[in-house]
A and B are shown apart, each in its own frame.
Chain A
Amino acid sequence: MLKFVVRRLTLESIPTLLFVATLTFFLIRLAPGGPFSAEKNVPPDVLKRLEAHYGLDKPLLVQYRDYLLNALRGDLGPSFKYPNRTVNELIAVSFPVSLELGIYALAMALAVGIAIGLLASARKNSAADYLSMSAAMMGICVPSFVLGPLLVLVFGIWLGWVGVSGWATPSDRILPAITLSAMYVAYIARLTRGGMLEILSQDFIRTARAKGAGGMRVVFVHALRGGLAPVVSFAGPAMAGVITGSFVVETIFQIPGLGRFFVTAAFNRDYTMIMGTVLFYATLIILFNTAVDILHVWLDPRLRN
């Protein structure tokens, strides 16, 4: 087990990260324009000194090597657009916000999604089943940038129940979390239903029923563990998704999270901030995927060998 984790985290993730870093580096550096080109009227000598200060005047390959060596030591460099702030600091400030939002959204998605999926699988082909699966389809087809503004309009502006922007009070957190979780609620409900239906049709469930186990006991004690396997597989990408995919929600609700910082950085061509965010996100995705693999082995003893 430990060997598997170590192998995953070194042999497989380091080439991936290197690839991600290389592709991003040359993509943004070979494109026209630069971090200081948007500012009008920068005198040529000032521009030269700015570039020298950030090492942008060196050959590209030297910069690439320097960046990688620094990144290896955990130093992601200074931000070009936020003077006197390092990329590390900016990530440290904004990531907890995104993480908090992501945790709310995923917790809600798991709780609601699994509940709906269990209900639908327990009453297969009933009205409740069709109704909940149609609702799930809606969650998939109404994107966050439609749902978010609609929720703001109804609950924030017309009814005035909750905050609609910022991240200051607890009520500010409700609508963003709902908006971000909607799609995941839908997917998890569908996956739970599918997984449970498959498990419930197996022989060991019939054995359990024959031995007199009640409906509740069969579902929760016998079937749930296997039935949730698809949900577990999905949880890794979902966790990565709620955290790296929150740009829209953070933009709609003006939340100072990493997603919004990244979008601003991209627009500003803040090279180091873009590189830092991409590497950070890629690391997170790898970590989540590894965690999910471990969870799988724990849930399904057949995978242990």
Chain B
Amino acid sequence: MPDTYLDKGTSLWQDAMRRFVRNRLAIFSCAFLAALVVLAVLAPLFAPYSYAEQDLALGAAGPSVRHWLGTDILGRDLFTRILYGGRVSLMVGLCATAVALLIGVTYGAVSGYAGGRLDTVMMRFVDGMFAFPFTIFVIILMVFFERSLLLLFTAIGCVEWLTLARIVRGQVRSLRRQEFIEAAICLGLPRRRIIFRHVIPNVLGPVIVYATLTIPAVMLLEAFLSFLGLGVQPPMSSWGLLIKEGAEAMEAYPWLLIFPGMALSATLFCLNFVGDGLRDALDPKAAKD
């Protein structure tokens, strides 16, 4: 440890940053994800074709100079469709995680801060929800209501907040006993202000880690729903939908399954590595499972 470390003093976040940057796998994953996000967001500029543009005369053709990853049965450029699919998959991943964060953090913070009977009742509810067959719940929602992206990520978000709520509650309960919270109470700050200004910022570490690991779980759920035909509807594309179409045509045109599958798996890989890296950086004590 260099001397300057002691002299200057470092905040928790600087410390974590230093540890994170040293993790090459996580940095590489970050770069990959950043490139993917840029490509997906700017897809209309980068993509060589439009996502619905058909070349029926060409049909399904293997990778070539004109179509880097080949074309599907309707002659649509697969590279373009993977880029556009990535837009949907990433957006669902981020938005649903945001929904889960919003519900989970608020719920957990209120429950942990309130303590007592309210806490017991609120956590009982969470325990009860864990017995709920969630995939089934999301399937029911998607079948019975009009399938829209908004419903999709609200439904997924409503499913994914439970663990977050538990984590936040545990953290808040241990924070509540500490002096600076007591000081805030003594100063007469309103309860809401204490929760949002003093408690929540201090539980951000574990929350960020868990949120990063929630994104791949959500993307997987979206892909799973699209695979069952319950997610994104054609002609829009998402990775799950492309994989579904690819699986149907794989006997004759295996690349239609392989490339979208690779896109999804590589992204999930990177998100998991970033999540693990963040956990090691923010919480060095946590055992690596």
Contact = CB atoms under 8 A, between A and B. Distances in A.
A252 B128 contact: no
Contacts, number: 118
B145 A31 contact: yes
Interface stretch (A20-28, A41-49, A88-96, A213-221): A20-28
Contacts of A267: 143
A141 B131 contact: no
Contacts of A32: 144
B259 to A, nearest CB: 11
Contacts of A247: 135, 139, 228
B261 interface: yes
Interface stretch (B8-16, B179-187, B264-272): B264-272
B254 interface: yes
Interface string A259-281: 00011001101000010011001
B228 A27 contact: no
Contacts of A149: 243, 246-247, 250, 257
A13 B135 CA distance: 20
Contacts of A141: 216, 265, 268-269, 272
A193 interface: yes
Given A141-B265, A145-B224, A274 B140 contact: yes
* A-side interface size class: 35 or more
B140 A143 contact: no
B257 A143 contact: no
A150 interface: yes
A82 to B, nearest CB: 18
Interface string A124-148: 0000000000000110111101101
Contact of B132 (A20, A28, A138, A150): A20
Interface stretch (A51-59, A101-109, A282-290): A282-290
Given A146-B243, A244-B135, A266-B140, A153 B251 contact: yes
B-side binding surface: helix, strand, loop or mixed? helix
Contact of B131 (A13, A150, A152): A13
A244 B264 contact: no
Interface string B232-248: 00000000100110110
B227 interface: yes
A27 B140 contact: yes
A194 interface: yes
B246 to A, nearest CB: 7
A296 to B, nearest CB: 16
B220 interface: yes
B226 to A, nearest CB: 9
Nearest to B221: A143
Contacts of A138: 265, 269
A193 B131 CA distance: 28
Nearest to B135: A245
A230 interface: yes
A244 B133 contact: yes
Contacts of B264: 143, 146
Among A20, A137, A149, A194, the one with the most B-chain Cβ atoms within 10 Å of its Cβ is A149
Nearest to B143: A266
A273 to B, nearest CB: 12
Contacts of A229: none
B289 A248 contact: no
A153 B254 CA distance: 8
A19 B131 CA distance: 10
Given A16-B128, A149-B247, A153-B254, A143 B220 contact: yes
Interface of B: 127-128, 130-133, 135-137, 139-141, 143-145, 216, 220, 223-224, 227-228, 240, 243-244, 246-247, 250-251, 254, 257-258, 261, 264-265, 268-269, 272-273, 287-289
5 contacts: A27-B144, A138-B265, A194-B289, A247-B135, A278-B140
Given A31-B145, A32-B144, A289-B131, 7 more contacts: A137-B272, A146-B243, A193-B289, A194-B289, A244-B136, A247-B228, A252-B247
